[in-house]
Structure formats: structure tokens, C-alpha cells
């Protein structure tokens, strides 16, 4: 029963009672008409449908602006004809309604649905629901025939020039200006002190100088990339600037995964999956701005505390943070960590500048990002 149906039922009952009390035939007629309408609606709504509904979607991962359609096929698998009915399919925030005519046994009806891909996001498609009832909207019966499916509209990404720190660099490690007592890159010799590993004693030099001498090494570490996107709305001038930042962030992350780097990705307050490029881009699709997300000023300190073993830290922010704000928290990071700050502002000329121990890249478009990446080495 729809709300209008319940209202009609109350009016019908009230009219019949009032006609008996007051003796008004007109009220009895109103009650009878409404009762007949409710009964007719109930007859149209009841009954078993022998539909089989297929929701066909060629792909569930799309690019922004890529044309995509879904197909809904309604079959009549019964031995009798089915009366006309309406079907409804949620496509994101809107419902698509269409009419299915009378279906004879073994007949089918196809409907093509257009998927909106103008903006990045996650679109929920379905479930496909059949709607039966009366024309007055008093009684309605809905039956779901399929499950809902999520369609991921990925942000626009560009292929970047390899940064030269893929699998080979991971195997060899990234050399840091830090001395270690045990590693693979030889640096110098020094005198033995109690507790040193005897396997690192250099016997030829020991025999020559008459004292135990041990090897020292350059400290190396795996190329572990910390990739962070500010999701704080105060870090961006507008939503278009944020969309550019998401595309820059997704392009950098996708390139790192192609190069088989170890990536830890955070966006706002969310941790993104980095097991594969499609999963990473799936998690980039629903990203949004919020006032409660961690602002850029807190990101460097947070990286230093949560990911101290990262060799590369990449921050993607909008144009709002000033140079002093960009510089303020950098001393909290490991001195051996390479820091890159991508500051996004649509229309700004491309620029690379040094800011203390960090490299700041001004990005005005994705095309500029491709050119800027050729000028830096990560």
C-alpha cells in the first residue's frame, strides 16, 4: 500500500461509517468507489511474475569522459503472457524508469542505459526492480531482480617518464648519506670496536697496520614511496583545483606501481590499496574534500611518525598553502628522505624550485606534469 492507498482506505472506511450514522447515500458511494479502486489495484499488484532479468555491463572500470552503456534484458520464462509493467533502475543518484510491454512466453525486451562518466566517482547501478500496481498509485508491488553493481569512473591519468627507481633500484637500494656498519655498499675502513661483526674485518689492512680494521658501508634502503594527497578543503581554491590534484596524485601513484615500487598511499584520512594499479585507481575514484581531513601542515609530521622508513615522500596539495607553510614541518622528516611537493593550480606556469630539503613543482595541468617529471629524478 502506498501512502495514497492508506489515505484512500481511511477515507473509504470513514465514509461508510459516516453514511451509516448520518444516512447519507453520497458518503456510502464515496466509500464504495474507493474500496473498488483499492481492490482493483490489489488485483493488478498480486500474482507471480516469471521474469528473468539480466543486467549486462561490459566493464566496471571507466575513464572520465569514456562512453559507456549497460543493457537490461527482461525475459518471460513462463507459459503465459505477462501484462505490461514498469521497471526502474537506479543509475547513481537518478532512477531510470522504462516501460516493458506485454511479453509472450519466451519473449524478451531490451533496454539500453547510458552511464554518466563526465565526472570521477563511483556509480551504483541497480538493482533492477519491476513495479506493478494500479494507475492511481494506490497499490504498488516492487520486486528486485538483480543485485547492484559499482562502476568506478577513474580520474584522468597520464603516463609519466620512468623515474629510474623501479625494480632494479629496489634490489640495489637507494644510497643515503648515512654511514652503516652493515650493508652492501662499501664506504671506508675504521678501527675495530667491541661488538663489531668479525665478518667485516679487513684482514689485509689489519696485517699492514697492526690493528683490527673493519669495513664501513653506505646505508641503503628499499625505495619505499609515501604518497599523500591533502583532502582538506582549505588547501584548495575550488573543486576544479582538487580534481587536478587527484589526477596528479593518481598519475604519480600509477607510475610508481608500474615501476614496481613499494608504495604507501594516503588521501585525506583514507588509506588506499596499492596491491595493483586498478585497485589503486578504484580507491581514487570516490575521493572528496572534507573540513575534518588532515591539512597539509600536519602531513609532514605525520609522515615522519608513521612512515619513518620511507625513502621518498610525495605530497600533492592545492595552491592555498604558502611557502612558509610548505617549509614549516619539513625538518621533522628523515634527512635521508627525498621530498617532493606537487602544488596544483590550474593555469599556473610549470615551475621547479628548491625549498630547503624539498623540491616544489608547480603544476597547472596534466600535460605540464609530464614535462615536469622529465626535469626531476625520484
Using one digit for the tens of pLDDT, what is the confidence trace for 39-83? 776 666 666 678 899 999 888 999 998 888 999 999 998 888 887
Question: CA-to-CA distance for 368 and 346, rounded, in angstroms?
Answer: 10
Apex 78 CA angle, 73 and 80, nearest 5: 115
Which pTM does this prediction carry? Answer: 0.73
Domain ranges of the chain: 3-45, 51-154, 177-220, 222-373
Q: pLDDT band for position 89 (50/70/90)?
A: very high
Q: Decide: 198 and 295 in contact? Cβ < 8 Å.
A: no
Tell me the pLDDT tens digit for each residue of 178-192: 444 444 444 578 888
Question: CA-to-CA distance for 48 and 213, rounded, in angstroms?
Answer: 90
Name the fold adopted by 222-373: Rossmann fold (3.40.50)
Query: Residue 333 has what DSSP assignment?
Result: S
Asked if the model's pLDDT at residue 365 lies above 80, the reply is: yes
Query: CB-based burial of residue 104 (10 Å sphere; 0-12 exposed, 13-18 middle, 19+ buried)?
Result: exposed
pLDDT at 137 (0 to 100): 67
Buried b (16+ CB within 10 A) or exposed e, 341-351: bbbbbeeeebe
Q: Which among 279, 175, 151 is positioned nearest to 223, based on CA atoms?
A: 175
Look over the chain and give the mean of its residue pLDDT values, rounded to a whole number: 82
Question: CA-to-CA distance for 251 and 257, rounded, in angstroms?
Answer: 10
Q: pLDDT band for position 154 (50/70/90)?
A: very high
Tell me the pLDDT tens digit for each residue of 199-238: 878 888 888 888 888 877 554 545 688 899 998 898 999 9
pLDDT at 13 (0 to 100): 83
Grid cell listed for 29 = 458511494
Residue 324 vs residue 186, higher pLDDT: 324
pLDDT at 169 (0 to 100): 39
Average pLDDT over residues 278-290: 93
pLDDT at 222 (0 to 100): 54
Least confident range of 62-66, 73-77, 168-172, 334-338: 168-172
Tell me the pLDDT tens digit for each residue of 344-362: 999 999 999 888 878 899 9
Query: Domain 51-154 is of which CATH architecture?
Result: Sandwich (2.60)
Q: Is 160 helix (H, G, I), strand (E, B) or coil?
A: coil
Query: Residue 82 has what DSSP assignment?
Result: B
Which residues, at least 6 apart from 135, have a Cβ–Cβ distance to it below 8 Å?
none
pLDDT at 179 (0 to 100): 42
Amino acid at each position: 500500500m502506498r501512502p495514497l492507498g492508506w489515505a484512500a482506505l481511511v477515507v473509504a472506511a470513514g465514509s461508510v461509517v459516516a453514511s451509516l450514522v448520518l444516512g447519507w447515500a453520497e458518503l456510502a458511494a464515496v466509500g464504495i468507489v474507493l474500496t473498488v479502486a483499492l481492490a482493483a489495484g490489489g488485483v493488478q499488484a498480486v500474482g507471480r511474475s516469471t521474469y528473468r532479468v539480466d543486467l549486462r555491463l561490459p566493464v566496471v572500470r571507466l575513464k572520465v569522459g569514456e562512453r559507456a552503456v549497460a543493457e537490461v534484458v527482461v525475459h518471460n520464462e513462463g507459459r503465459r503472457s505477462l501484462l505490461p509493467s514498469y521497471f526502474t533502475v537506479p543509475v547513481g543518484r537518478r532512477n531510470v524508469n522504462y516501460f516493458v510491454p506485454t511479453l509472450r512466453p519466451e519473449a524478451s525486451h531490451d533496454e539500453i542505459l547510458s552511464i554518466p562518466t563526465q565526472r570521477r566517482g563511483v556509480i551504483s547501478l541497480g538493482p533492477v526492480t519491476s513495479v506493478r500496481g494500479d494507475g492511481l498509485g494506490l497499490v504498488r508491488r516492487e520486486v528486485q531482480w538483480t543485485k547492484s553493481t559499482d562502476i568506478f569512473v577513474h580520474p584522468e591519468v597520464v603516463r609519466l617518464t620512468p623515474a629510474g627507481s623501479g625494480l632494479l633500484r629496489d634490489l640495489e637500494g637507494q644510497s643515503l648519506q648515512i654511514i652503516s656498519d652493515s650493508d652492501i655498499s662499501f664506504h671506508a675502513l675504521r678501527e675495530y670496536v667491541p661488538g663489531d661483526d668479525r665478518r667485516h674485518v679487513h684482514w689485509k689492512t689489519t696485517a699492514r697496520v697492526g690493528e683490527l680494521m673493519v669495513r664501513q658501508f653506505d646505508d641503503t634502503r628499499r625505495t619505499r614511496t609515501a604518497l599523500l594527497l591533502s583532502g582538506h578543503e582549505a588547501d584548495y581554491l575550488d573543486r576544479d583545483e582538487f580534481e587536478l590534484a587527484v589526477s596528479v596524485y593518481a598519475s604519480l601513484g600509477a607510475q610508481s606501481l608500474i615501476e614496481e615500487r613499494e608504495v604507501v598511499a594516503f588521501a585525506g584520512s583514507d588509506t588506499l590499496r596499492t596491491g595493483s594499479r586498478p585497485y589503486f585507481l578504484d580507491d581514487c575514484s570516490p575521493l572528496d574534500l572534507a573540513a575534518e581531513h588532515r591539512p597539509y601542515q600536519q602531513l609532514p609530521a605525520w609522515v615522519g611518525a608513521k612512515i619513518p622508513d620511507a625513502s621518498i615522500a610525495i605530497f600533492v596539495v592545492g595552491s592555498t598553502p604558502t611557502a612558509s607553510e610548505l617549509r614549516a614541518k619539513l625538518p621533522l622528516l628523515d634527512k635521508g628522505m627525498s621530498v617532493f611537493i606537487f602544488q596544483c593550480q590550474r593555469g599556473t606556469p610549470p615551475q621547479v624550485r628548491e625549498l630547503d630539503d624539498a623540491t616544489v613543482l608547480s603544476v597547472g595541468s596534466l600535460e605540464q606534469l609530464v614535462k615536469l617529471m622529465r626535469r626531476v629524478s625520484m
